[in-house]
Amino acid sequence: MEHAKHIIRAVLLLVVAVVVFVLVRHFLYPKSFGLHGYYRFDSVAEYASAAPVHGDRGSCAACHEEKAATLTRGKHASVSCEVCHAPLSTHVQEEARVAPMPVDRSMQLCATCHQKLVARPKGFPQVVLPDHAVEKGAQITNGVCQECHNAHNPSE
């Protein structure tokens, strides 16, 4: 029996550790955790009530009908407004303009999709920049592409 003491101590320690673990876990777990699955149920409502960051063309069209119409009838119809500008929420909140929407006139913007690369599909319109603009007789300035192409409808 002399040696049983060691075992009892070890077991007691283990029991204390388990009790502490269960208590700490109980107090640290968010209330709604596990209500409907292995996640915090309150987070659903929190995400649902967050203000949207992005908007589609329709949300821009509410105030920029003409620009949206120009885009839709041209070759850039598949390009989202936010790709060339910025997320809706930086510009509009609660249906009012809160800050200017960035306008990028650099040729780098166009180069993202049109710089000639072997990896692009063959049929996709590609040009070597800035050579293409120089060949057409333009001076390279910020906004050079807009001199000949309407960003919202490049074939116009």
Q: Which is nearer to ligand HEC, 12 or 148 (CB)?
A: 148
**Minimum separation from the CB atom of position 47 to ligand HEC (A):** 21
Residue 106 CA from chain centroid, whole number = 22
**Minimum separation from the CB atom of position 145 to ligand HEC (A):** 3
**Minimum separation from the CB atom of position 49 to ligand HEC (A):** 20
How many of the other CB atoms lie within 10 Å of CB of 24?
10
How many of the other CB atoms lie within 10 Å of CB of 114?
20
**Minimum separation from the CB atom of position 14 to ligand HEC (A):** 59
Q: What angle do CA 74, 112, 53 make, to 5 degrees?
A: 80
Q: Which two tokens stand for residue 143?
A: 């906004």
| Contact set with ligand HEC (CB under 6 A) | 55, 57, 59-60, 62-64, 67-68, 71, 75-76, 78-79, 81-85, 88, 91-92, 95-97, 100-101, 103, 105, 107, 109-110, 112-114, 124-125, 127, 129-130, 132-133, 136-138, 143-149, 151-152, 154-155
Q: Which is nearer to ligand HEC, 40 or 105 (CB)?
A: 105
Q: Which two tokens stand for residue 114?
A: 């049109």
Residue 133, phi then psi, degrees to nearest 5? -70, -35
